[in-house]
Chains A and B, each alone.
Chain A
Amino acid sequence: MKRIGVFVCHCGTNIANTVHCDQVAEVAKDFPGVVYSCDYKYMCAEPGQQLIQDAVREHNLDGYVVAACSPRMHEPTFRKCAERAGLNPYMIEQVNIREQCSWVHADKEKGTEKSIDLLRMAVAKARKNEPLSSSTIPVTKRALVIGAGIAGIQTAIDIADNGFQVTLLDREHSIGGRMAQVDKTFPTLDCSACILTPKMVEAAQHPNIEMVTYAEVTAVDGFVGNFDVTIRKKARYVDFDKCTGCGACQEKCPKKVSSEFEMGLGPRKAIYVPFPQAVPNKPVIDAEHCRYLLDGKCGVCKKICPTEAVDYEQKDEVIVERYGSIVVATGFDQFDISKYEEYGAGRYPDVITGLHLERLMNASGPTAGKIKRPSDGKVPEKIVFIKCVGSRDEAKGRPYCSKACCMYVAKHATLIKEKMPQSKSYIFYMDVRTGGKSYEEFYKRTQEQYDGQYIRGRVSKIFQVGDKLIVRGEDSLIGRPVEIEADLVVLAAGMEPRADAVALARTLGISYDQHGWYTEAHPKLQPIETHTAGIYLAGVCQGPKDIPESVAQASAAAVKATGLLSKGELTSEAMIAECNEAVCAGCGLCISVCPYKAIEKKKVSERVHGQMKERVVAVVNPGLCQGCGACTVNCPSSAMNINGFTNEQILAEVDALCQR
């Protein structure tokens, strides 16, 4: 039988004004298990804590209950006090008779009565308390960054600069991501490649960064501190150790394919480097189009290669690597504009997206930087921009704002005017959102110095007459229909999650919202963390952002990842789930509701009728479990329990509250 002490705090007059603390302490003396009870003005103050410690020693207490303020306030204080008194800190309970009693009930008799009920409850629980302890797990001091766009590159460089090994993984052949496709960046208009490629090279050459491109994560096992990640390296059919990147194969390859990097506006070969500044700058063979790999004919690249680097026999390679933390920076897809049939997107070649225009403006793009219409190569004079295409549109399932479009449209209008002074840009908008340093000023210049004509309203229809696109809409400010004969229409297509974002989330065990953006652990206070310990988010995969925001989040993710790696070991929670293996039937119902993938199966052997039999039981990973208790309720045999909130403790509380 445990010896329990009770300490009733007056909190000055905060409690004592509306609760007879002396009476409460007196009544508590008769509670089962209570061997000592007293009241005092300030239990949390040094003399109060001393009083508790003395009483623990003098009365040989196994545990105690403090009736005071909310445990959310002072539970750590009284746990530490218990430790100083030589008790396990989890042998104590704090019961709330201030926030949930004295402050909310003016009637002193009723307040006293409720305090007694609450105290009886806490004593009943404390009698069932058991000593608890935390455990530690070692950390693998190495990080994985998934996705090597600007966010992933920045994260990798920051982690590497902090002195940790990092693997930078991308499924494309080259790192660089979306930013590599962009021509110039707002609001400074510096060329995207000029600021991105140095970072790409830095990442490639950093002694702490291992670059793994043309590879995908296929499975993630393990947990914070020790993730075992299965990576499939796709066959490139080119031996990178031998290849010098001379480019002869690319030149001679007879097979032309539409280039993904150029948004289908230009060709590439079946053996190719996606863009001139690619890192690594060595070609791969596109197996879906290579004539040799498809039907064994051709083989030109192998014949021409001076270093015999082409290897048609290469196979995908699967490796498993261990990492302490993971940063997800997988970016976004551009909204599929063909969903807007009224705009003729997909039908009219001269209705394009912002990203197409980036390629048309880029000096190393398919038109060498000269803006020409995709249909006939004519230089357009009247250009219409339509904003919020696949953003802020409930009907298209994209109610959110894609955030960067207002600024990139202003940038486009500015650049077009600079390149073609005789041209005219019309911009249809719902709102203009220019939150950001120097953004509003940039937008003003687009209107005032670069003649961008902003028209507030939605476009209802686009149709072709001759070689013109007739854009029909409404100017909602003057309430009159407008019609523009345009040469080129640019849709500011919004951002949407990668098509396979949800699949990767499931592999990683992180959560995602209804659209497929990855969910941060807390929208305000933990915008970098996921709910899965040790996995962090950077860039647009979490939600639409522009480049500076992505970079800022990338550096933040690097700090979080590094913070974890710099610890030698992790301390687990003490109040977590525990499985009673003797009772567990191994049904796995607990696994299905665990938000942290903290429950695994393990085999146990036991002797049944003189024979050793194996069976499966659930086992809780103390490094992952956060103690929510969902498993306990889904376990019909109550084999799962939460230390500190056990079934037995809660039942004792229920019984005590009902026993009046």
Chain B
Amino acid sequence: MNSLIKEMQALAQELLASGEVKGVFGWTKGSRWYLTPPLFIQKAEDAIKLHYDEFAINNLTSLLLDYRNSDDKIAIFVKGCDSRGILRLIQDKQVNPEKVLVIGLPCPGMVDKEAVKDQRHVHDLPLLRKCQECRYPNPVLADRTLGDVQVTKEPGVPIGITAERAIQKGVGSKGKERYQEVKEIEALSADEKYAFWQKQHEKCLRCYACRNICPACNCRECIFESDKKGWVNKAATTTDNAFFGITRAMHVAGRCVDCGECERVCPAGIPIMKINRKIMQDIDELFGTYDAGTDLEEAGPLNHFKLDDPEEFL
């Protein structure tokens, strides 16, 4: 890991010094051993601040939105799952591929910092939930790669994780059952389902953290930001929260890149991925298997149709 960090720093230093890029998105060592927050640097001498480890959890891609119409070229470090966010932004024309330099990193599988109590070592911590179900450990797109990482559009087993650790953490096996939790909710009665979600919607603060971190939520102006449009009231009533939750899910239907950041950042602990996964499952069943953010050329499932799509409306 240390040599990889050195490589990252050297590359960032070179890119900034040569003027090839005007800024670099990466991570830095935080104030505690289990924190590795995002970092944006614009000076070559700051490259030394870059850091990477099992706590570099944040998907940085939505940060590129601040530079969407910029003439400056920006470099960004991505893990496998993050790279799908880059594809999302390119497909949505929010990032000009000429103006971004994507650097792919091998991912060791991120660990759950929320689980930190009295542990002192990263290996004592469980893998982050989203990493237990990881299907894209390798970047699907990268201009450069560092360390032992391949660029591939195919889902696979995380290569950054040792076999031992993979078995220990159950990586891969869970990935196959990624709709398990969806099925559990589907098995409930209508009223139980409603009660479950009502409880979630009651918790929602409408802080929009889920939206802000999401690479698929890349509108210039969100419909929930402007009450002039009349879609929803500003106040966080439960019914408006439900409207927000369902509408957000429909807006990212077929576009969600499954990075799980929305759920991770939700301060109210709403299991947002249970909604996103539900839609993914239905898309797979109804229109054929589709992983958003893995193929630049492929149109999303709500942007095309087949004449012989399932007919259930009679």
List the interface of chain A (C-beta within 8 A of B): 514, 582-589, 592-593, 608, 613-616, 634, 636-639, 647-648, 651
Contact of A651 among B69, B70, B222, B230 (CB under 8 A): B230
Give complex CA distance A653, B50 in Å: 55
Give complex CA distance A593, B254 in Å: 14
Contact A585 B69 (CB under 8 A): no
Contact A634 B69 (CB under 8 A): no
Report chain A residues within 8 Å CB of B300: 592
Contact B230 A614 (CB under 8 A): no
Task: Judge if B93 is at the interface, Cβ distance under 8 Å.
Answer: yes
Contact A587 B94 (CB under 8 A): yes
Contact A634 B307 (CB under 8 A): no
Counting chain B residues whose Cβ lies within 8 A of the other chain, the interface size class is 20 to 34
Task: Judge if B191 is at the interface, Cβ distance under 8 Å.
Answer: no
Report chain A residues within 8 Å CB of B219: 583, 585, 587, 636-637
Contact B302 A634 (CB under 8 A): yes
Give complex CA distance A533, B230 in Å: 35
Give complex CA distance A616, B222 in Å: 18
Shortest Cβ gap from A600 to chain B (Å): 13
Q: 9 tightest CB-CB pairs across the interface, nearest first?
A: A592-B303, A637-B219, A636-B251, A585-B220, A587-B92, A615-B69, A583-B221, A613-B69, A638-B223
Contact of A638 among B231, B299, B304 (CB under 8 A): B231
Besides A582-B221, A593-B303, A613-B69, 20 other A-B contacts (C-beta < 8 A): A583-B220, A584-B220, A585-B93, A585-B219, A586-B93, A587-B219, A589-B303, A592-B299, A592-B304, A608-B69, A615-B68, A615-B69, A634-B302, A634-B303, A636-B251, A637-B219, A637-B223, A638-B229, A647-B230, A651-B230
Shortest Cβ gap from B213 to chain A (Å): 16
Report chain A residues within 8 Å CB of B68: 615
Contact B223 A636 (CB under 8 A): yes
Report chain A residues within 8 Å CB of B218: 585, 587
Report chain A residues within 8 Å CB of B220: 583-585, 637, 639
Report chain A residues within 8 Å CB of B307: 514
Give complex CA distance A608, B218 in Å: 18
Report chain B residues within 8 Å CB of A584: 220
Give complex CA distance A639, B219 in Å: 10
Contact A637 B69 (CB under 8 A): no
Contact A651 B221 (CB under 8 A): no
Question: 0/1 per residue, B52-87, Cβ < 8 Å to A?
Answer: 000000000000000011100000000000000000
Report chain A residues within 8 Å CB of B217: 636
Report chain B residues within 8 Å CB of A582: 221
How many A-B pairs have beta carbons closer than 8 Å: the answer is 58
Report chain B residues within 8 Å CB of A608: 69
Give complex CA distance A583, B219 in Å: 8
Residue among B220, B222, B230, B299 with most chain A CB within 10 A: B220
Give complex CA distance A615, B229 in Å: 23
Give complex CA distance A651, B304 in Å: 27
Contact A614 B69 (CB under 8 A): yes
Given contacts A592-B303, A592-B304, contact A637 B94 (CB under 8 A): no
Shortest Cβ gap from B110 to chain A (Å): 29
Question: 0/1 per residue, B267-308, Cβ < 8 Å to A?
Answer: 000000000000000000000000000000001101110010
Residue among B218, B223, B299 with most chain A CB within 10 A: B223
Shortest Cβ gap from B215 to chain A (Å): 12
Can you sample 28 A-B contacts with CB below 8 Å? A582-B221, A583-B219, A585-B92, A585-B93, A585-B94, A585-B218, A585-B219, A585-B220, A586-B94, A587-B92, A587-B93, A587-B94, A588-B92, A588-B93, A589-B303, A592-B299, A592-B300, A592-B303, A616-B93, A634-B303, A637-B219, A637-B220, A637-B221, A637-B222, A639-B221, A647-B231, A648-B229, A648-B230
Give complex CA distance A616, B92 in Å: 12
Give complex CA distance A634, B252 in Å: 11
Shortest Cβ gap from A601 to chain B (Å): 8
Give complex CA distance A75, B219 in Å: 37
Give complex CA distance A613, B71 in Å: 9
Report chain B residues within 8 Å CB of A636: 217, 219, 223, 251
Shortest Cβ gap from B212 to chain A (Å): 15
Residue among A615, A637, A638, A648 with most chain B CB within 10 A: A637
Give the residue name and chain of the A residue nearest to B225 (CB). A637
